[in-house]
Structure 1
Amino acid sequence: MSPRKAAALRAGDRTLREHLIATAERMMAERGAAGLTVRAIAREAGVADGVLYNHFAAKEELLAHALRARAEAIGRTLGPLPEAGGGTVEENLRAYVRHGLTVHRELLPALAGLVAQPDVLARFSALSGGDADWRARLAGYLRAERDLGRLAPDAPVDAAVSMIVGACHEPVLSVLFQGEELARRAPADSADGLVAVVLRGIGPR
């Protein structure tokens, strides 16, 4: 290991790949993703520019992993999502909606700098699959509640998920495509209103 690599890892037991992802994630959190170059990340990480390409095929791969790490870090601050069968469906669904709104809002500074980099977003989407993904967790939760009889037996779960995900995306897209001045902000009670509308369509009858 070169002296610069050793110095970069001196403070912990992470691998150099993990160190680079953590560095890029921290930079995204502090200053967004706009202008986040290989040179800037390398300097912040304390390594030579070319070291990044020993661990990632391209800058886009590193940024996708950093964005994923950022989303996971935000999610950890929000606590676990409710499981089916506990509490009330209304309370649980409100928790899922608030989780989605918060994650999307907190990711906005990073996403705003990546609109012109679709390859990063495509890689991020590929990394975000599986049961840990918020959208998949939401769909699984609603199907489980339907199986338990706490939702209508013919509840259109996919439509409900699309409605909730779209509502969480809207404030982000509003900022990205209309700018800060014209953007539509999600009102404080948006989770309550959205849950009420969704439950009218999928609640037990």
Structure 2
Amino acid sequence: MSPRRAAAVAEGRSLREHLVATAERLLATRGTAGLSVRTIAREAGVADGVLYNHFADKEELLAAALDAHVRTTQARLGTLPEPGSRTVEFNLRTHLAYGLTLHRAILPAFTGLVGQPAVLARFAELHDQKAWRASLRDYLAAERERGRLAPEAPIEAAVAMLVGLCHDTVLSGLLEARPPRTPPLEDVVAVVLRGLGPVA
């Protein structure tokens, strides 16, 4: 048993869990460029072939690491506000801040895997937690039911705007030398709730 494996077992983790944790750490800190089986194995302190005793292929390991990365990030971010609590404005700012932080943490890993659809497909099979987008939609729908939003409030359009801002902010930062400045969250929420209509 290698020292790394002994450490993993001593911590109550299986070798498979140790390999996923190692790949997750590499994915989070270095991205996916050049993230090979050999790199993961060396970082984990095992021989290259050991990975194939626990995973069918590299794609399965990377999907498990990506799933772990998203779950770890979501756990750090805590819970989102319940419908009916505080004000809708406050709760939407909280949702938006959560979404921005989540996307800043995980989008770099996803963009690095665009050329590896097999990894993304495996991730979709593994990741059964409710996505933030769905949580936001459910929150707005519940507030509409409670009468804290207009009965005809276009929930899907509001969700698309807020999620789109997160994508634009993070992807622009990855692709451009000078990404656009994120507008104040209170301004974004004001536009979502009150629109840009002309003054009567």
Same fold (TM over 0.5): yes
Residue 36 of structure 1 deviates from its aligned partner by: 0.7
Q: How far apart, in 2, do the equivalents of 1:126 and 1:199 lie? A: 35
What TM-score, normalized by structure 1, do the two folds share? 0.83
Counterpart CA distance in 1 for 2:44 and 2:26 is 10
**1:148-186 Cα distance to aligned partner (Å, 9 max, x none):** 11111122212211221111111233245xx3415x244
Counterpart residue number, 1:110: 109
- Aligned positions, number: 194
Query: Taking structure 1 as reference, are residues 173 and 70 closer, same or farther at Cα in structure 2, changes over 3 Å only?
Result: same
Superimposed CA distance per residue, residues 1-50 of structure 1 (whole angstroms, 9 cap, x where no aligned partner): xx238435244101222211111111122212211111111111122222
Q: 1:188: how far off?
A: 5.6
Q: 1:36–1:162: structure 2 CA closer, same or farther, 3 Å change rule?
A: same
Deviations 1:97-144 (A, max 9, x none): 11111111122442343232232233334433443x211111111111
Q: Distance in 2 between matches of 1:168 and 1:38?
A: 32
CA distance in 2, matches of 1:39, 1:187: 39
SS for the counterpart of 1:153 is coil
The answer to whether the Cα contact below 8 Å between 1:8 and 1:47 also exists between their aligned partners in 2 is no
Within the candidate set 179, 187, 192, 2:182 is matched to 187
Q: Which residue of 2 aligns with 1:158?
A: 156
The equivalent residue for 1:13 is 12
1:88 shift after superposition: 0.5
Please, what is the CA RMSD of the aligned residues? 2.2
Change in CA separation of 1:180 and 1:108 when aligned onto 2, cut-off 3 Å? farther
- State the distance in 2 between where 1:185 and 1:7 align: 48
Can you give the 5+ residue segments of structure 1 that lack an aligned partner in the other structure? none
In structure 2, the partner of 1:135 is 133
8 Å CA contact retained: 1:83, 1:141: yes
Distance apart, 1:71 and its partner CA:
2.0
Partner Cα distance (1:200, 1:29) in 2? 38
Q: How far did 1:78 drift?
A: 2.3
Q: Identity across aligned pairs (percent)? A: 59
Preserved CA contact (<8 Å) 1:96 1:138: yes
Structure 2: unaligned runs, 5 residues or longer: 196-200
The one-letter amino acid paired with 1:137 is: S
AA at the equivalent of 1:174: S
**Consecutive aligned runs of 4 or more in structure 1 exceeding 6 Å deviation:** none
